[in-house]
Amino acid sequence: MPLLLDTHIWLWSLLDPGRLSPRTHALLGSTDAALHVSPITLWETLLLAERGRLSLRPDPPSWLQEALARSPVKETPLNFDVALASRSMDLPHQDPADRFIAATAKVYGLTLLTADTRLLACPDIDVTPA
């Protein structure tokens, strides 16, 4: 199953795997799972570091490059279709990062893996609880 990892799932898998459920560990470790992240996840990670909510060494850009290199995820591009879908989806809020992540799942036919209850309720995408 091709999975798009929500930002917190990707970060937990790298920084705090104990926060992931056994089911999520199994999904992430499955040889059948193609794992994806949106560039918005990288952007959100940079924001968290800038705001002091994450400490990424030696610096956030270097940490991200290293994390992408060692994590079995593929960066899934933002494009025109994702931008359009982000504005037309039925989401209960206007958070731009969530909108782009959900739209990426929709456009690329990926199942979003998240613990975010607002995204779990999104009728426009395939979503699975983490």
- Per-residue pLDDT tens over the stretch 26-59: 999 998 889 999 999 999 999 999 999 999 999 9
**24-33 confidence digits (pLDDT tens):** 999 999 988 8
- Per the rule left: phi > 0, alpha: psi between -120 and 50, beta: everything else, 129 is beta
CATH number for the domain harbouring residue 32: 3.40.50.1010
Q: Is the pTM of this model over 0.85?
A: yes
Cβ contact 3:31 at 8 Å: no
**87-106 confidence digits (pLDDT tens):** 999 888 889 999 999 999 99
CA distance 108 to 21: 25
Could you give the number of structural domains in the chain? 1
- Token pair recorded at residue 127: 């979503």
Mean pLDDT score, 62-67: 98
- Token pair recorded at residue 94: 């206007």
**What is the b/e burial string over 64-93, where b = at least 16 CB atoms within 10 angstroms of the residue's CB?**
beebeeeeebeebebeeebeebbeebebee
Q: Which domain holds residue 122?
A: 2-129
